[in-house]
Amino acid sequence: MKLNEELVAIHAHVCGDGNMYIKKENRSPSSIRTSRSIKPFNRFIIEYTNTCPELLDRMTIYIKKLFPQTYVLRSNNKFRIQARNKILFDILKNLGYDKDDWIIPQEIVHSSEFRRIWLRAFFDDEGTVREASVLCYNTNKKAMLMIREMLELEGFKTSFYSSAPKQEKYKTLYIIRVAASSYLLFQKIGFNHTKKRIKYMNSCKKRINKLGLNAPAEIRISECPIPLAFLG
């Protein structure tokens, strides 16, 4: 399958707040009656967890658009969805997903269209909005360095640092900070996460006022908060 918007976003969400695993299941009585085998089988599961309902709905739409017959369910935890599809599972594996050591394909890193889609989905999961900076966190150093490269290809000023774990059972946390000088430009990435989008929009308004800029009369929550033309 060729890269497309849905597949790129799914990959980013799985790398962010997702997970994939294989679960051994017993066949149902009806399946045993119609199957040549009674042995347990492997269930290939793609899982995504987020407290933002809109993101769960988006992830479901992405998966259904690529594989309309895929079974996507909400688990007992209302903040989690599961998709059962071996083909999608294998595709994401081939794109470099590994639970502890995932990478971002170069076809995404060096494509302005796919790069922005991937970064938006990842920051929806792992990003934090502050009044003078946007940050993201992860324990995968190799991937975080790739994300920093992607942000710098978009023209953002960034810093990279780590936070040592307080307990031995935890991993070192790596942090990317988008500098204040690039804060307004982050609209090129933006957010689909409702609360983060609103917080970013309000912070942009405050920053514009603080800098003494003449902001557009209307700043829409559902779109990029500031037209690119305004930023020059």
Q: Stretch 63-71: mean pLDDT, rounded?
A: 95
What is the rounded CA–CA span in Å between residue 154 and residue 143? 17
Which residues, including other chains, have CB under 8 Å from residue 124's CB and lie 6 or more apart? Answer: 13, 16, 50, 52, 55, 191, 192, 193, 196
- With beta carbons less than 8 A apart as the criterion, state whether 228 and 188 touch: yes
Distance in Å from the first CA to the final CA of the chain:
38
pLDDT of residue 173: 95
Structure tokens at 34: 């119609």
What is the rounded CA–CA span in Å between residue 140 and residue 118? 16
User: Could you count the other beta carbons within 10 Å of the beta carbon of residue 39?
Assistant: 10
- With beta carbons less than 8 A apart as the criterion, state whether 62 and 10 touch: yes
What is the rounded CA–CA span in Å between residue 200 and residue 156? 16
Summarize pLDDT for 16-38 with one digit per residue, the tens.
999 999 998 776 665 655 666 66
Nearest to 18 by CA among 134, 105, 103, 98: 98
* ∠ Cα 144 160 221 (to 5°): 75
Q: Is the pLDDT assigned to residue 220 strictly greater than 50? A: no
Which runs of E-coded beta strand occur in 62-116? 71-74, 80-84
Summarize pLDDT for 124-154 with one digit per residue, the tens.
999 999 988 999 999 999 999 999 999 999 9
Summarize pLDDT for 160-215 with one digit per residue, the tens.
999 988 887 888 999 999 999 999 999 999 999 999 999 999 999 988 887 776 54
pLDDT of residue 29: 61
Burial of 128 from C-beta contacts in 10 A (0-12 / 13-18 / 19+): middle
Which runs of E-coded beta strand occur in the chain? 18-25, 41-49, 71-74, 80-84, 127-129, 134-138, 158-163, 173-178
Nearest to 8 by CA among 107, 81, 123: 107
